[in-house]
Structure 1
Amino acid sequence: MSRVVHPIEQESFRRLRARLDTSGLPPLTRAVVERVIHSAADLEYADDLVMTEEDLVTAHAALHAGAPVVVDVEMVAAGITRRETVCRLRDAVAGDGRTRSAHAVRLAYEQVGPGALWVIGCAPTALEELLTLDASPALVIGLPVGFVGAAESKAALRESGLPAVSNVSEKGGSAVAAAALNALLYHPTSAEENQ
């Protein structure tokens, strides 16, 4: 089923493209960059985001084949449309030097196992915990926000070699993390393009 795009969204993307030429980017990279910029009205993300088209192609296929989507907080889940998500934050407790967000990641991993898409937009400690697990993710969208640990956790994600979407600065958040996942959800599969 194709997605109906509201005229306001169409106009927003038209204006975005009038201010920033994304036409030279590979298709999925362009989709992620544009949707993240659109969600934050922040053109600086064009130079701040880090990803590879190869990782996005693999993640896109896994997502459309039904791989689980795990989020760190309900705000990320609320922004992801057209897909159920797993969020275990309500079940988590802080303790043993671990934050609730870190414990929630561990609980989610116990539930979904390897191969999921992980969308972290709030807690750097959630991303740090994920990096300690043998999660074999299809993709990690690591865009936590904040002045304490956010940039460092994203740097650790990039250094891990896991397939990822991240950014260099402290900025990020639930809306941009959800937007990055939605870009992959909304991008047509080859079967949809041939219809």
Structure 2
Amino acid sequence: MNRVVHPIEVESYRRMRARLDTSHFPPLTRAVVERVVHSAADLDYAGDLVMDEADLEKAHAALHAGAPVVVDVAMVGAGITRRETVCRLKDAESGPGLTRSAHAIRLAHEQVGPGALWVIGNAPTALEELLTLDADPALVIGLPVGFVGAVESKAALRESGLPAVSNVSEKGGSAVAAAALNALLYHPTSAEEKL
């Protein structure tokens, strides 16, 4: 099913590409970079994001094969179109040494098991908790925002060796995390490209 793109989005991408050359990126990396930059109107993301094309290819295949998508907060889920998401924040509770966001990640892990795509755009503690679990993810989009724990949690994600999209700076948030996942959703599969 092809997505109908509004003329405003077409013009926005044209203007972005006039200011930012993304032609040197491989296809899925380019899609993620462009959608994140577009979502934040922040060209600096092009040099801030960290990802591997081979990881994105595997995640793209898993996503289009129906792998579950888990989000840390409802706002991330609201930004992901064309796909249902799992968010357990409403069911979670905080406790000694455990934030509500971290507990929600535990609950989601119990629900979906291995092979999910995890999209974390809000809480560094959610990303930290995911790294303690045996989640065997198809991909972790770890783009939490903030001045406390965000940089460290994203560095830990990169050091974990898990397939991931992250960034180096404090920047991030629900909109950019959702945009990274949407880039994979919107990118055609090989079957769609042949149509």
Q: Which TM-score applies when normalising by structure 2?
A: 1.00
1:181 aligns to 2:181 (yes or no): yes
Amino acid at match of 2:145: V
User: 1:169 Cα deviation (Å)?
Assistant: 0.2
Amino acid at match of 1:62: A
Q: Show the 5 A alignment for 1:55-66.
A: 55-66=55-66
Give the equivalent residue in structure 1 for 2:129: 129
Give the equivalent residue in structure 1 for 2:156: 156
1:69 aligns to 2:69 (yes or no): yes
Q: CA deviation digits over 1:13-47, x for unaligned, max 9?
A: 00010001101110000000000000000000000
Q: CA deviation digits over 1:101-149, x for unaligned, max 9?
A: 0000000000000000000000000000000000000000000000000
Q: CA deviation digits over 1:134-191, x for unaligned, max 9?
A: 0000000000000000000000000000000000000000000000000000000000
| Distance in structure 1 (CA, Å) of the matches to 2:190 and 2:78 | 27
Note the aligned Cα RMSD (angstroms): 0.3
| Distance in structure 2 (CA, Å) of the matches to 1:148 and 1:69 | 26
Give the equivalent residue in structure 1 for 2:34: 34
Give the equivalent residue in structure 2 for 1:6: 6
1:170 aligns to 2:173 (yes or no): no
Q: CA deviation digits over 1:28-78, x for unaligned, max 9?
A: 000000000000000000000000000000000000000000000000000
Give the equivalent residue in structure 2 for 1:96: 96
| Distance in structure 2 (CA, Å) of the matches to 1:164 and 1:52 | 8
Amino acid at match of 1:49: L
Task: In structure 1, list runs of 5 or more residues that go unmatched.
Answer: none
Task: In structure 2, list runs of 5 or more residues that go unmatched.
Answer: none
Partner SS state of residue 114, structure 1: coil
Amino acid at match of 1:87: C
| Distance in structure 2 (CA, Å) of the matches to 1:111 and 1:17 | 40
1:87 aligns to 2:87 (yes or no): yes
User: 1:96 Cα deviation (Å)?
Assistant: 2.9
Amino acid at match of 1:122: N
